[in-house]
Amino acid sequence: MATTLIVLIGPTGVGKTELSLRIAEQFGTDIISSDSRQLYADLKIGTAAPTPEQLARIPHHFVGTLKLTDYYSAAQYEAEVLNLLDKLFQEKDTVVMTGGSMMYVDAVCKGIDDIPTIDAETRQLMLERYEKEGLERLCAELKLLDPEYYNIVDQKNPKRVIHALEICYMTGKTYTSFRTQEKKERPFRIIKIGLTRDREELYTRINQRVDMMIEDGLLEEAKAVYPFRHLNSLNTVGYKEMFNYLDGTWELPFAIEKIKQNSRIYSRKQMTWFKRDEEIRWFHPEQETEILSYLRNAII
């Protein structure tokens, strides 16, 4: 039997976690998280990380393994997951991977371009320039050095802009020249299951989940990590809004509404990204019987 990676994806709040547990139980296997924020040990509530009870049900990987100050990238994730899969597939025919971080999913399933690793000196230089000059100045420079990437990058995302400039500085070439986007072959079969709900239904779940996070102590968690708010690991929905409240910029009810709104916006971005992938077979999360039947037939 060929080894198989079951990839369970979908937007935030759709219901991936519980279904992934039941699929893993059915196939007697482990779960690999492809959520770029659940990697951080201090961000349990705001990332809806698996609970201790859920972690006890099934062995999980890439959950709570990093400190907020750790640098991490999709390229590192690709290498570490492939290394782990080599080991897991020696004992198991099937492994489940689940999460909503689009670049992390693609890194494992398709591979990402062989972009040079940035040296510490260049990284420090660009961070200092970002702090002194601001994002707008760096965007203007990127427009000069790599106009092609400038036209497609999210110009409000400092991490993306800075990384592209780091490559330009370090190599003397454009970031675009390294983005070949050739799909890499994997030594295992990949089956992608996408979970989707009607927009209204999904938005209601997102709103309820944010309310639950507040009840579970999101504000206290945000207070605990507030001294690190400048780090990229905290440039994420849930924490940014709470930091605005802690700064005194926003009232708490407004901050909570903004978390809901920004989570809904993020869910739309995720769906736009995933809908481009023709390999995904879509289901409603309550079609568990159909999903398991589809997987068993595909894996035979």
Q: How far apart are CA 209 and CA 204, in angstroms?
A: 9
Matching CATH topology for 4-112+182-299 and 120-178? no
CATH architecture of 4-112+182-299: 3-Layer(aba) Sandwich (3.40)
As its CATH architecture, domain 120-178 has: Orthogonal Bundle (1.10)
Structure tokens given for 23 = 């699929």
**What pTM value is reported for the model?**
0.81
Residue 243, Cα to own-chain centre: how many angstroms?
A: 21
pLDDT(160) > 80: yes
Residue 216 has pLDDT above 80, yes or no: yes
| Among candidate residues 33, 16, 47, the one with its CA nearest the CA of residue 284 | 16
pLDDT at 224: 98
The pLDDT, as a whole number, for residue 1 is: 60
For residues 226, 41, 266, 286, the Cα torsion angle rounded to the nearest 10 degrees is -140
Q: What is the mean pLDDT of the chain?
A: 93
What confidence tier does 180 reach under pLDDT thresholds 50, 70, 90?
low
* pLDDT surpasses 70 at 208: yes
- Residue spans of the domains in the chain: they are 4-112+182-299, 120-178
Separation of alpha carbons 170 and 122, rounded Å: 7
Copy the structure tokens of residue 270: 């995720």
Q: What is the mean pLDDT of residues 139-162?
A: 90
Question: 135-174 in b/e burial notation, b at 16+ Cβ within 10 A?
Answer: eeebbebbeebbeebbeebebeebebbbbbbbbbbbeeeb
Rounded CA-CA distance 164/217 in Å is 37
Task: Report, in angstroms and rounded to the nearest whole number, the Rg of the chain calculated over CA atoms.
Answer: 20
| 181 has pLDDT over 80 | no
Q: Is the pLDDT at 71 greater than 90, yes or no?
A: no
Q: What percent of the chain has pLDDT over 70?
A: 99
10 Å CB burial of residue 55 (0-12, 13-18, 19+) is middle
Output 184 or 180, whichever has higher pLDDT. Answer: 184
Residue 73's pLDDT band (cuts 50, 70, 90): confident
Tokens of 152: 């497609």
